[in-house]
Structure 1
Amino acid sequence: MTEPQNTPLQPMPDDWRRALAVVAHPDDLEYGCSAAIAACTDGGRSVGHRPELVITMNHRDTWGGVRRVAVAGFAGPTHAEDATPGLERGVRSLLEHRTYIEALTDEDPETYARELLTKWATITGERFGGKPAVSFGLFAR
């Protein structure tokens, strides 16, 4: 069942130190949650092997030793991470796929990336206390 669009999102848990980001396509993180990952690493967390949290896009799977799976782009999100500290790095990260963006649109790639990510973060932020955010479906293991 999909969550109603006006349901407030809970903050992502902060009791983890290491995450692993797993995606199917090279630009999936940039289109989804790179700003949230940047904010987490700013807070002293790392992205590497032997994770406590797996961050992924649009699917659910199982991994041994993982306490939670956070799915960005999930149709019924339950949690969010403040994207404010990482939004600019998310834009720069997406711009690393400039050639792909140029094939998608006639718009200036930087304008496209900035407006797209800012729009998504702002819309999500309406359910997260007004702060720009990235949403996740969070699943305990």
Structure 2
Amino acid sequence: MTNQLTPMPDDWQRALAIVAHPDDLEYGCAAAIATWTAAGREVSYVLATRGEAGIDTLDPAEAGPVREREQRASAAVVGVRSVEFLDHADGVIEYGVALRRDLAAAIRRHRPELVITLNADDTWEGTHWNSPDHRAVGRAVLDAAGDAGNRWIFRGLEEPWDGVRWVAVAGSDSPTHAVDVTHTLEQGVRSLLEHRAYIAALTTEPPEAYVRNLIEGFAQQEAARFGGRPAITFRLFPC
């Protein structure tokens, strides 16, 4: 079979996942993170917002703390202890120097070898228009990975870190690499289930059925290109 996916590199110790909202990592990527933490690697999360505009039935002042609690619980399921929120406004994140600066600062603080983010393309699978927050943050992450190592950009932040070796984009329509999640798929399901308030507002399906169908479906989608194994896919950019 052509276009087989390559296993993700495993010669690293620290990763930093940077996304726009609570739940972004749980829609498919968390099972891969569970695989890495189970192998003794350190993964931290940085979220640009608290997801305060994400629940139609909750005022943002109430929704933000709820979604923060759900995100911390969700991260714990897959072995992630460090979760930071940057307090950009949900729904109206702007790509630009200010965002790049905040993300470069986060990379310098955490000093990862692998940076993970979410699809920044205009669409999902060429059909569904992508969130402006996803597009802004994903693009800024790719730029900030380089900014973090340049001592002449964003002076006055933490010491530059030029140790980022790859940026891995989850949810890409053109993945190049994958992680076998045979043994951590259930953790991926439970991780998304922690976003109970969000899911309750999103669907009338029973939460476990909704989550299991999604996560197991994502993992099987590219299995034929990865030896028949359930897989989480990434587009990997070397730095």
**Structure 1 length normalisation: TM-score?**
0.91
| Cα shift at 1:89 | 1.1
Q: What is the rounded CA distance, in whole Å, between the counterparts of 2:33 and 2:42 in structure 1?
A: 9
Equivalent residue in structure 2 for 1:98, among 186, 196, 218 = 196
1:37 alignment counterpart: 33
1:19 alignment counterpart: 15
Q: What is the rounded CA distance, in whole Å, between the counterparts of 1:51 and 1:125 in structure 2?
A: 28
The aligned amino acid for 1:77 is P
The alignment covers a number of residue pairs equal to: 136
How large is the RMSD of aligned CA atoms in angstroms? Answer: 1.2
Q: SS in structure 2 opposite 1:71?
A: strand
Task: Flag the structure with more relative contact order, 1 or 2, with Cα contacts below 8 A and sequence separation at least 6.
Answer: 1
Query: Is 1:50 aligned with 2:111?
Result: yes
Q: Percent of aligned positions with the same letter in both sequences?
A: 62
Contact 2:116–2:168 (8 Å) recurs in 1? yes
Q: What is the rounded CA distance, in whole Å, between the counterparts of 1:132 and 1:98 in structure 2?
A: 25
Contact 1:35–1:90 (8 Å) recurs in 2? yes
Contact 2:26–2:191 (8 Å) recurs in 1? yes
Q: SS in structure 2 opposite 1:84?
A: coil
Contact 2:181–2:230 (8 Å) recurs in 1? yes
Query: Is 1:121 aligned with 2:212?
Result: no
**Structure 2 length normalisation: TM-score?**
0.55
Q: What is the rounded CA distance, in whole Å, between the counterparts of 1:95 and 1:35 in structure 2?
A: 13
Query: Is 1:28 aligned with 2:24?
Result: yes
Q: What is the rounded CA distance, in whole Å, between the counterparts of 1:126 and 1:107 in structure 2?
A: 29
Q: What is the rounded CA distance, in whole Å, between the counterparts of 1:94 and 1:100 in structure 2?
A: 10
Q: What is the rounded CA distance, in whole Å, between the counterparts of 1:77 and 1:53 in structure 2?
A: 16
Q: What is the rounded CA distance, in whole Å, between the counterparts of 2:181 and 2:118 in structure 1?
A: 17
Query: Is 1:69 aligned with 2:167?
Result: yes
Q: What is the rounded CA distance, in whole Å, between the counterparts of 2:191 and 2:9 in structure 1?
A: 24
Contact 1:12–1:80 (8 Å) recurs in 2? yes
The aligned amino acid for 2:195 is H
Contact 2:29–2:232 (8 Å) recurs in 1? yes
| Cα shift at 1:125 | 1.3
Contact 1:71–1:136 (8 Å) recurs in 2? yes
Q: What is the rounded CA distance, in whole Å, between the counterparts of 1:126 and 1:104 in structure 2?
A: 30
The aligned amino acid for 1:16 is W
Contact 2:178–2:231 (8 Å) recurs in 1? yes
| Cα shift at 1:84 | 1.6
Question: 5+ residue gaps in structure 2?
Answer: 45-109, 120-137, 149-161
